[in-house]
Amino acid sequence: MGGSRSAAVSGTLVLSACSSGPSTDSSSATTPEQTRACVVKANAFLADWKTFPTTLPQSPPARYTKLDQKPPTGKRAVYVRQNFPAAQSTSDGAHAAAEALGWNYQAVIYDNSVPDFIAKLDSVIATKPDFIMTNGLPAASFQKQIDDAKAAGITFVLTSVSDPPVSVPGLGGVGNATETAKVISRIHANMALSTSGRTAKTVIFSLDYPILDVSEDEYAKVMSEACPACTTEVVKIQPKDIGTPAATSQMVSKLEADPSTKYAYTMIGDIASGLAQALKPAGLDDVRIFGQVPNESSIAALRDGTNAWWVNQSSRINGYDMMDMAARISVTGRVQSDPGGYPLALLTKDNVPPGTAAPVIPENVLDLYEQTWGVGSTS
């Protein structure tokens, strides 16, 4: 289906793909015939996701329709971001999109702690930008700042959260969020079912953000409904440990504790960096490592076969998408929600594009956004 996938249809296909049916007999739920049927259905679903999108999502409820008028120029957007590589990539995307819109852009980095995040937000609100953008932390953790921003005529745009948008100004945009998180986990679950033959034991290495709870719960739900023998466990990594030996050691220790666990679902590429190399001396180089938001290390590990697969939930596109919501709000004055159609692609060793960087798929996706805004040379 390329760029026209529908989240609603995709969800139905996945949830029904490997169902054991009405029988409550656990022995009949794992017969060879049912396992083969499950794998066939999982592979049929996955075939579409291995076909890279070439357009922005077109099916309802996607929001990527052409605006009736160009967004006004000269708006100012500030992205308050975490201090790790994926957030830098998102910032790069937001900056490029802001330039295309003729907007002023600034990134403010916090130290991954909530107190510093709040302090940075207060400082940014005092400068009265048109939009403040951030991701990951739930709105409840900075509700006072949202209220202050609303009073000052400022609109928040959030990604990677489970909150709904509320008002403009205020919490006006939410993207790459709940519906997208569910779709991604369904893709991962079907890959685990396909490659394991309904025997997968999975540890999810995650972060303490509510949107990731959505991903964890959806993966566990699909696996438990499809595979009575499969197990899923969640281990939280501290954001301050990302990219350090402390995170790697925590993951290796967990997998060493039960060598029968062969699936490691790492929520972002920054968590997985170095894990495959650390598992090899422990004799665990047969663990399948996968996740979303791949980085350069993830792509290299796909190429050499030490990672199994990645859902290309591009962090750079996340920056484009934040600015897309802001652009639409600036024209319509209406809240913007996650349409569940964020551009995604399933990457494996067989289809990973050339180059060392995490791919942006479609490659011309910023041009596609610009077309919907009515700006740029392709509009």
- CA 137 to chain centroid, in Å, comes to 14
So what's the pLDDT on residue 221?
Answer: 94
Place of tokens 């798929």: 361
SS (H, E, C) 3-42: CCCCHHHHHHHHHHHCCCCCCCCCCHHHCHHHHHHHHHHH
How far are the Cα atoms of 203, 223, 252, 348, 366 from residue 284, in angstroms, in the given order? 14, 23, 9, 20, 40
Closest CA to 320 of 253, 265, 368, 269: 368
Give the dihedral sign, CA 162/366/93/156: negative
Give 289's strand partners: 264
Mean pLDDT, the chain cut into blocks of 10 residues (379 residues total): 34 44 43 84 87 80 85 98 90 97 98 94 98 95 97 96 95 92 94 90 93 94 90 92 90 95 94 93 94 91 94 92 96 89 88 87 94 79
Whether 15 and 69 have beta carbons less than 8 Å apart is answered as: no
So what's the pLDDT on residue 111?
Answer: 92
Whether 202 and 263 have beta carbons less than 8 Å apart is answered as: yes
Taking the C-alpha atoms of residue 37 and residue 113, their distance in angstroms, rounded to an integer, is: 47
Strands 309-311 and 346-347: antiparallel
Domains of the chain: 7-55+184-311 (3.40.50.2300), 76-179+315-341+360-373 (3.40.50.2300)
In angstroms, the first-to-last Cα distance of the chain is 24
The first and second tokens of residue 354, run together, are: 């050339």
The first and second tokens of residue 365, run together, are: 């996706």
So what's the pLDDT on residue 27?
Answer: 40
Whether 215 and 245 have beta carbons less than 8 Å apart is answered as: no
So what's the pLDDT on residue 372?
Answer: 94
Taking the C-alpha atoms of residue 256 and residue 263, their distance in angstroms, rounded to an integer, is: 12
